[in-house]
Amino acid sequence: MKKKKFSTFLTIVTAMALLAGCSNGSDNPQQGASSNPTQNNKQTEEVTQEAPTKISIMTRLHTAEVPSDKLEKLIEEKTNTELDIQWVPDSTYNDKVNAAFATGALPMVFNGELNTFRSAIRDDQFWEIGKYLKDFAHLSNLNENVLRNMQVDGKVYTLYAERPLARSGFIFRKDWAEKLGLDAPTNFEELYDMLYQFTYNDPDGNNKNDTIGLTDRSDMIYGAFKTVSSWHGTPNYWGEKDGQLLPEFMFPQYIETMKFFKKLHQEGIINQDFPVTSKEDQRNLMITGKAGAYIGTMPDAVGLQTELQKVNAEATLDVFNRIEGPEGFKIWMATQGGAGFLFPKSAIKTEEELLKILTFYDQLMSPEVANLITWGVEGEHYTLVDGRTKANEDQKMLDRELKPYSGAIAIGGLSTIPGLYQAKWEDPLKQKAEELVMDNVDFLIDNPVAPLESLTFNEVGARLQQMINDATFHFILGEIDEAGFQAVVDKWLADGGQKIIDEYTEAYNASN
């Protein structure tokens, strides 16, 4: 089971790395591409007179092998640097960072989680870089809101790579829906109706009652629950009510979501043991044609359809994102800035050195180098079609030469690098899924506590959250009622929850 989880985790992460560069943002990449590179060329010419800057970087490796250094050489050439990249397998990355941190062996740049290093940052172990950003042509384009989410006591210490803001949506069997005469659901009634009919109206036409509507798994965030919850209008982790910040589960919309799932569970519309279902098993229900819908990351539809069509060549999938709840269209926004590139003082001794490293990152955000690191070499890793990139079909070559760099070293993204190419997808389902991911941006729910800190939360938060998650499952499975859930919330408050609320509210009021 552990292994399964690990492999699914790897899949998610690689998928994220792949898609990191395909969110929306720039209107006219052509124009940006033509105007900026010349500017950048001048810059690189200027620097080449100096000796190359040596930069050591520790970063996550999501592929099985250490990548070839072909791209590294090109980047070094373009930026006049000498890179020393330590590739650490993703599974052991955090341990390795902790060990390096404890022994004072951190490299000059590494990707770290703010929560882990917050106290060390306060202890002046890392360079504050926020104040330098405005002096750089490209770094100054970094999104201020994202940077604000990454602040520690109002100062910025990290550079970030863009991630899509909200990728969740509804994936369903198009062929089943057509057979039953249903359109993509646009509100909760239609959603329930579709799931119900998928379960009881024999969508696969074998005259047996052997299908279910929705397949879900034990994950409350990347599974169906959080997404359905945000369609209901539940706040994203935390929300404001009467001048104080409260956790999502103290809002009535959360209870409504639990009731919705309870109904699905009681009526046999959702897989009955979803609290112990792994992602692999969840996908299998879809692939084997037993389940009709999947709520989660929309671009996953492509992989699901490929597998599904191996079993049933006639099956097709469709994706949809706009499901209207009582408060209109809503979707939770993935917390940006939980992690970023940190610059330890133990490795970077002087401000001068720091500025040189920031210059390197500034160059990484120039369209020329950004395209190189994101898409590779034109004609080799990609070709341009209508101003968009079409990736080489040799996936193994891309995995070996390109992906580790774009996933682990690049910073910024489409909305901050005008002139960065967008992807061209052959598969219409992929195209649609990616478009809907961009469409989600129009109705995001922000997480107000992302830039805030609560010491009590750092101490007991994970354990308290587990209590609530357990209670949510108990409610959905009908083992406790609303009063029982309320009792768990009261216990949450007593065990430190109230303190977390107070601390967040105080920090929130202070920052506004």
Partner 1 sequence: MSQPSTSTATLKSNSDLMKRILKNTALYFMILPGLLYFFIFKYLPMFGLVIAFQDYKPYKGFFNSEWVGFAHFERLFSESDFLMILSNTLILFLMNIVIYFPVPIILALMLNEVRLQLFKRFIQTVVYIPHFMSWVIIVSISFVMLSTDRGIINELFVAMGWEKVNFLMNSDWFRPMYIVQIIWREAGWGTIIYLAAITAVDPQLYEAARMDGAGRFRQIWHITLPAIRSVIVILLLLKIGDVLELGFEHIFLLLNAMNREVGEIFDTYVYTAGLKQGQFSYSAAIGFFKSLVGLVLIMIANWLAKRFGEEGIY
Strand 388-391 and strand 382-385: pairing?
antiparallel
- For Cα atoms 201, 205, 209, give the angle at the middle one, nearest 5 degrees: 50
Residue 412 zone, left/alpha/beta (φ > 0; ψ -120 to 50; rest): left
Contacting range for partner 1; rule: CB under 8 A; set: 35-43, 66-74, 117-125, 136-144: 117-125
Indicate the pairing of strand 317-320 with strand 168-173: antiparallel
Q: Which residues of 208-245 are buried (b: 16+ CB within 10 A; e: fewer)?
A: eeebbbbbbbbbbebbbbbbbbbbbbbbbbbbeeeeeb
At residue 181, the 3 state secondary structure works out as coil
Which helix H or strand E contains 37, and what residues bound it?
helix 29-47
Binding segment (CB under 8 A) for partner 1, from list 97-105, 227-235, 368-376, 400-408: 97-105
Interface characters, 269-298, with partner 1 (x: CB under 8 A): --xxx-xx----------------------
Q: Does 352 interact with partner 1 (rule: CB under 8 A)? A: no
Check residue 73 and give left, alpha or beta (phi > 0: left; psi -120 to 50: alpha): alpha
Q: How far is the CB of 481 from partner 1 (least distance, A)?
A: 16
Q: Which stretch binds partner 1 (CB under 8 A): 115-123, 161-169, 248-256, 497-505?
A: 115-123
- Cβ proximity to partner 1: between 28 and 466 the closer is 466
Note whether 475 binds partner 1 by CB under 8 A. Answer: no
Which one, 176 or 274, has the nearer CB to partner 1? 274
Least distance in angstroms from the C-beta of 187 to partner 1 = 29
Q: How far is the CB of 96 from partner 1 (least distance, A)?
A: 13
Binding characters for partner 1, 5-44, by CB under 8 A (x = yes):
----------------------------------------
DSSP-assigned letter for residue 31: H
Among 64, 102, 483, 510, binds partner 1 (CB under 8 A): 102
CA angle 246, 251, 252 (to 5 degrees): 170
- φ and ψ at residue 34, rounded to 5 degrees: -80, -30
480 lines the binding site for partner 1 (CB under 8 A) = no
Task: Count interface residues toward partner 1 (CB under 8 A).
Answer: 37
- Cα Rg, the chain, nearest whole Å: 24
Residue 466 binds partner 1 (CB under 8 A): yes
The piece of 1-9, 10-18, 133-141, 440-448 that touches partner 1 (CB under 8 A) is 1-9
Give 86 or 469: the residue with its C-beta nearer to partner 1. Answer: 469
Burial class (CB in 10 A: 0-12, 13-18, 19+), 16: middle
104 touching partner 1, by CB under 8 A = yes
Among 442, 459, 481, 482, contact with partner 1 (rule: CB under 8 A)? 459
- The alpha carbon of 44 is separated from its chain's Cα centroid by a whole number of angstroms, namely 33
Rule CB under 8 A: say whether 454 interacts with partner 1.
no
Residue of 7, 91, 119, 511 interacting with partner 1 (CB under 8 A)? 119
Report residue 150 as tokens.
Answer: 């990454």
Interaction of residue 206 with partner 1, rule CB under 8 A: no
What type of residue sits at position 274? F
Site residues (vs partner 1, CB under 8 A)? 1-4, 98, 101-102, 104, 115-116, 119-120, 123, 125, 218, 271-273, 275-276, 458-463, 466, 469-470, 472-474, 477, 479, 491, 494-495
